[in-house]
């Protein structure tokens, strides 16, 4: 998924970051401590009723209080956190991030907690897995991608191989929720998760999970991550943490979130698996659909789609026309480079690049602007090709005939070539609109609160995955339908051939049609 | 060949594209109200010559004198020239996205106030003149080839040109449409108009031409009054062409008055 794409360029990005001095900012000047968090990891950070909450969130508040600054959270995908830190988008990462040698090459940690993991199985039925031991051999184990559990799983795998037993199948998922969900759905035989994560799961999905064996990997630590060499911030964070330990605030927060060191999940496995009745689920979908976060998310998705399409079309027309005529001789090279770059790299890379790399070069755009810029430039590259194909499709005779009537070249383009090209590209434009609607979900990686991110976060609070995603799907389908109908009306409007087939085509138009384009 | 009465005089027009000599030393005079038919084998440069006349193509050298004014001179606006010289293409090239009325009105509407005045009335009159008054709201793809061609003629006439060029007007028409076209050429709309017609249709040429010009290899190799061209004492090369083009040319060569 998205994370895998991300990883392929996080490394070069980090090298990049090492060459250019990262700009430390905000803190002293603005009196603000901006932290990034991926709120899909209860009880550390998650979204409940549209609000960011959890141990880390409270801790950041308290730390900022001691430092005499204001804490400001930016909620994004886990994979986007380190690039955002490198790009100077945030002052620190506060997302229960494990210290790992790989990460320590890129960032500096201020650890604040030791955390251990447990083996989780389905409560239902018997499991051959007895704990973090050789009973894991040959089993499918779900872990969170890039988490310490992933490393533990590979260690267990090697142990099995060394003992001559069948290897583990390690299934790495983007978030802790995905890991838990895949265990519940039977795609994995067991899962590794933090002890506290296990406790949360047992509370939220009664009768769903059971822990087996004892905690392992006690020396894994989590901490704040800051840019390397940000010594002043390191010292101030450490000082604030020390003071929170001193006055008992830290222990109070641990108790509030049930993170006491000696607490163990008390799984019995006896409780019947809770099955949500269908009508209950529908009610949840309805609630999600009309909830404020979903409405805002849907609005954001629509805004991203429309803004990027309008700007992208503009860029595309310029890029297509720029290649024509006398000026084209000089512009063709740069335009080719643009098309080559933006058609040849993943959109996700372009989004992260604009948001996290441009700041290193001195161009610092807000998240939403970055998203629209990246999507528009990407769209423009495809639009340029579409516009060009539209212009090519206008028969040369049409232009000749218009010129022969004494029309000026500008009039010829405006009244003859452009309308005919538009008619040709309209079906392709429709595809672009619908594609953009869905592509816009990628900008969650830079913390733009679009529909899919909202749904993901809503689900993370209460495990109503099916319902939250269904609610998002309803919005996407509604938008898609709207755009398809608009396209249909427009096609009928501009095309005399279609105008004469009185209204019987609209249903067929909603269905995927191949050879219908003329 | 006195230039004084000529509407149009071509003087030594030459055009080379790459190494290919397409027009060579073309010289021709056209009197007011005259209909000249250009005959010649395919690839002899007939269409190219027409496109040079209304500046869709620029000849390399020579002069195009229109009422004494050289259209090839630097400061002459091609747009303005094309409003004086209408052209009907072989494949008509009606604007596919516009209905018949809009096809007629597009050029006047974009050409400025002088052309816009009473353009609607003129367009409707012309449609009536070409017998298509009832097709004003139709789209090109709803018309037959002959109808499309008549719309193309009306569309060119709306700009009130002083000279009309026709490139192979009969090549895509059935015999009935050809007869209708002949009638249109004799009607008020086109009878007095100075015209150049490129065609392969000898029968058609013999009905409409005042003069016949024969082109070959980019050159004008023969030129004659219509009656003379079809008579036994015509240029030998032209005669041979006519004989090949018209298997029953014998019937023609005997009937000198057409
Ligand atoms: N743009 C062009 N480039 C090169 N050769 C051309 C071009 N247009 C026409 N020609 C050549 O010029 C010659 C005359 O073409 P054309 O005027 O269309 O002949 P005709 O109309 O008499 O059949 C042909 O040999 C054709 O191949
Ligand atoms: Mg030709």
| Ligand 1 atom at minimal distance to the Cα of residue B51 | 17
pLDDT given at position A208: 85
Tell me whether A415 touches chain B (CB under 8 Å).
yes
Residues B246 and B223: beta-carbon distance below 8 Å: no
Distance from CA of A414 to the nearest CA of B (A): 10
* ipTM metric: 0.90
CA distance A116 to A98: 11
Query: Distance, CA A392 to ligand 1 centroid (Å)?
Result: 22
Segment B145-166 shows an average pLDDT of 94
Q: What is the pLDDT of residues A191-222, one digit of tens each?
A: 998 887 887 787 777 788 888 988 887 667 88
Confidence of residue A271 (pLDDT cuts 50, 70, 90): very low
Do residues A193 and A96 make contact, with C-beta atoms less than 8 angstroms apart? no
Q: Is residue B149 scored above 70 in pLDDT?
A: yes
**Residue among B97, B141, B155 minimizing CB distance to A419:** B97
Find, among A90, A82, A79, the residue nearest to A23 by Cα.
A90
pTM: 0.70
* Ligand 1 pocket residue status of B45, Cβ below 6 Å: yes
Question: Pick from A401, A407, A423: which is nearest to B89 by CB?
Answer: A401
CA A44/CA A32 separation, integer angstroms = 21
**Spatial contact of A123 and A68, defined as CB atoms under 8 Å apart:** no
The response to whether residue B46 sits with its C-beta less than 6 Å from ligand 1 reads yes
Q: Pairing mode, if any, of strands B211-216 and B35-39?
A: parallel
pLDDT band at A265 (very low <50, low <70, confident <90, very high): low
Residue A20 confidence (pLDDT) above 80: no
Yes or no: say if A120 and A190 are a contact pair by the CB < 8 Å rule: yes
pLDDT at residue B78, rounded to an integer: 92
User: What integer pLDDT is reported at residue A498 of this predicted model?
Assistant: 53
CA-nearest of B97, B89, B98 to B123 is B98
> For A451, how many CA atoms within 13 A lie in the half-sphere containing its CB?
28
Burial track A105-142 (b if 16+ CB lie within 10 A, e otherwise) = ebbbbbbbbebbbbbbbbbeeebebebbbebbbebbbb
Cα gap B161→B64, rounded to integer Å: 16
**What is the spatial distance between Cα A354 and Cα A364, in angstroms, rounded to a whole number?**
9
**pLDDT interval class at A261 (50, 70, 90):** low
Q: CB B111 to CB A406 under 8 A? A: yes
pLDDT higher than threshold 80 for residue B88: yes
For tokens 């027409």, name the residue: B50
Nearest residue (CA) to ligand 1, atom 27: B43
Alpha helices in B133-222 (DSSP H): 145-157, 175-186, 202-208
Mean pLDDT of chain A: 83
How high is the pLDDT of residue B250? Answer: 44
**Residue A148, SS3?**
helix
| CA-closest candidate to residue A301, choices A176, A476, A142 | A476
Q: Which of A470, A496, A494, A489 is nearest to A510 (CA)?
A: A489
Q: Taking 90 as the threshold, does the pLDDT of residue A457 lie above it? A: no
| Domains and their CATH numbers in chain B | 7-245 (3.40.50.300)
Matching residue, tokens 């109808």: B147
Percent of chain A at pLDDT > 70 equals: 85
Each residue of A108-144: pLDDT tens digit?
999 998 888 889 999 888 888 999 999 999 999 998 8
Contact A402 B106 (CB under 8 A): yes
- Binned at pLDDT 50, 70 and 90, residue A278 comes out as low
Which among B107, B138, B158, B161 is the top mutation candidate for probing chain A, defined by the most A β-carbons within 10 Å of its own β-carbon?
B107
Q: What is the pLDDT of residues A59-76, one digit of tens each?
A: 999 999 999 999 999 988
Say how far apart CA A58 and CA A61 lie, in whole Å. Answer: 5
d(CA B233, CA B236) in angstroms, rounded, equals 8
Which of these, A267, A389, A497, A105, lies nearest to B99 by C-alpha position? Answer: A497
The tokens for A265 are 């999940």
Q: What are phi and psi of A71, to 5 degrees?
A: -85, 140
Write down the pLDDT at residue A2. 41
Q: What are phi and psi of A315, to 5 degrees?
A: -60, -45
Q: What are the backbone angles phi and psi of residue A391, rounded to the nearest 5°? A: -65, -40
- pLDDT for A459 equals 77
The whole-angstrom separation of Cα A414 and Cα A422 is: 11
Residue A102: name the closest of A148, A154, A62, A63 by CA: A148
Is residue A405's pLDDT more than 70?
yes
Is the Cβ atom of B199 under 6 angstroms away from ligand 1? no
Tell me, rounded to whole angstroms, the distance of Cα A22 from its chain centroid: 24
Band of pLDDT at residue A513, cut at 50, 70 and 90: very low
State mean pLDDT over A15-25.
Answer: 40
Judge whether residue B162 has pLDDT over 90.
yes
Which residues of chain B lie closer than 8 angstroms to A395, CB-CB?
A: 93
Q: pLDDT at residue A512 above 60?
A: no
What is the pLDDT at residue A272? 36
Across the interface, of A405, A496, A497, the residue whose CB is closest to B159 is A405
Per-residue pLDDT tens digits for A235-259: 999 999 999 999 999 999 988 887 8
Percent residues over pLDDT 90 in chain A: 46
**Does A267 have pLDDT greater than 60?**
no
* H or E element that contains B83: helix B78-84
Assess whether the C-beta atom of B225 lies below 6 angstroms from ligand 1. no
Angle at B230 between CA B44 and CA B178, to 5 degrees: 70
């Amino acid at each position: 998924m998205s994370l895998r794409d991300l990883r392929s360029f996080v490394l070069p990005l980090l090298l990049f970051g090492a060459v250019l001095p990262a700009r430390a900012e905000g803190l002293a000047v603005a009196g603000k401590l901006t932290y990034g968090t991926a709120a899909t990891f209860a009880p550390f950070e998650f979204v409940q009723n549209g609000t960011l909450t959890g141990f880390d969130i409270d801790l950041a508040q308290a730390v900022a209080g001691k430092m005499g600054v204001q804490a400001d959270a930016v909620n994004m995908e886990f994979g986007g956190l380190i690039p955002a830190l490198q790009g100077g988008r945030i002052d620190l990462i506060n997302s229960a991030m494990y210290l790992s040698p790989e990460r320590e090459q890129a960032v500096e940690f201020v650890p604040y907690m030791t955390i251990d993991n447990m083996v989780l199985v389905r409560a239902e039925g018997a499991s051959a897995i007895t704990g973090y031991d050789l009973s894991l051999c040959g089993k499918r184990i779900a872990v969170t991608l890039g988490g310490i559990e992933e490393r533990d799983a590979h260690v267990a795998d090697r142990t099995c191989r060394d003992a001559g037993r069948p290897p583990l199948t390690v299934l790495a998922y983007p978030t802790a929720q995905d890991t838990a969900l895949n265990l519940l759905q039977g795609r994995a035989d067991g899962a590794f998760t933090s002890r506290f994560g296990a406790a949360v799961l047992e509370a939220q999905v009664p009768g769903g999970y059971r822990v087996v064996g004892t905690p392992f990997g006690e020396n894994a630590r989590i901490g704040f991550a800051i840019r390397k060499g940000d010594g002043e911030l390191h010292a101030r964070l450490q000082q604030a943490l020390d003071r929170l330990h001193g006055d008992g605030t830290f222990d109070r927060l641990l108790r509030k979130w049930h993170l006491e060191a000696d607490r163990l999940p008390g799984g019995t496995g006896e409780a019947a698996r809770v099955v949500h009745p269908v009508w209950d689920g529908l009610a949840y979908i309805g609630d999600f659909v009309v909830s404020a976060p979903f409405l805002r998310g849907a609005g954001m998705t629509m805004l991203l789609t429309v803004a990027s399409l309008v700007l992208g079309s503009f860029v595309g027309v310029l890029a297509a026309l720029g290649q024509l005529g006398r000026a084209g001789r000089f512009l063709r090279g740069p335009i080719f480079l643009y098309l080559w770059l933006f058609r040849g790299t993943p959109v996700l890379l372009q989004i992260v690049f604009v948001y996290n790399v441009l700041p290193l070069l001195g161009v610092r755009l807000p998240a939403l602007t970055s998203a629209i810029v990246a999507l528009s430039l990407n769209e423009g590259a495809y639009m340029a090709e579409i516009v060009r194909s539209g212009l090519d499709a206008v028969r040369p005779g049409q232009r000749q005939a218009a010129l022969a009537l004494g029309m000026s070249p500008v009039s010829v383009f405006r009244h003859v070539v452009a309308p005919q090209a538009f008619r040709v590209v309209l079906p392709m434009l429709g595809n672009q609109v619908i594609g953009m609607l869905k592509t816009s979900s990628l900008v969650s990686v830079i913390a733009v609160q679009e529909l899919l991110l909202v749904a993901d976060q809503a689900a993370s609070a209460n495990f109503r995955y099916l319902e939250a995603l269904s609610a998002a799907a309803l919005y996407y389908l509604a938008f898609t339908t709207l755009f398809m109908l608009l396209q249909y009306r427009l096609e009928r409007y501009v095309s005399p051939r279609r105008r004469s087939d009185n209204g019987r085509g609209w249903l067929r138009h909603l269905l995927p049609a191949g050879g219908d384009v003329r | 060949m006195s230039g004084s009465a000529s509407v149009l005089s071509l003087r030594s027009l030459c055009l080379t594209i790459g190494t290919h000599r397409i027009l060579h030393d073309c010289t021709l005079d056209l009197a007011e109200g005259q209909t000249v038919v250009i005959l010649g084998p395919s690839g002899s440069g007939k269409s190219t010559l027409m496109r040079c006349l209304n500046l869709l193509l620029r000849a390399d050298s020579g002069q195009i004198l229109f009422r004494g004014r050289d259209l090839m001179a630097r400061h002459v606006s091609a747009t303005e020239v094309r409003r004086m010289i209408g052209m009907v293409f072989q494949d008509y090239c009606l604007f596919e996205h516009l209905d018949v009325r809009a096809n007629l009105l597009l050029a006047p509407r974009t050409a400025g106030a002088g052309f816009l005045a009473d353009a609607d009335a003129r367009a409707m009159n012309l449609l009536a003149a070409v017998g298509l008054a009832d097709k004003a709201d139709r789209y090109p793809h709803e018309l037959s080839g002959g109808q499309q061609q008549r719309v193309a003629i009306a569309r060119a006439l709306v700009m009130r040109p002083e000279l009309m060029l026709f490139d192979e007007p009969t090549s895509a028409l059935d015999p009935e449409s050809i007869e209708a076209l002949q009638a249109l050429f004799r009607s008020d709309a086109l009878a007095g108009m100075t015209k150049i017609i490129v065609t392969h249709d000898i029968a058609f040429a013999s009905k409409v031409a005042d003069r016949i010009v024969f082109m070959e290899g980019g050159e004008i190799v023969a030129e004659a009054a219509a009656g003379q061209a079809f008579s036994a004492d015509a240029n030998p090369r032209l005669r041979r062409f006519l004989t090949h083009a018209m298997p029953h040319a014998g019937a023609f060569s005997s009937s000198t008055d057409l």
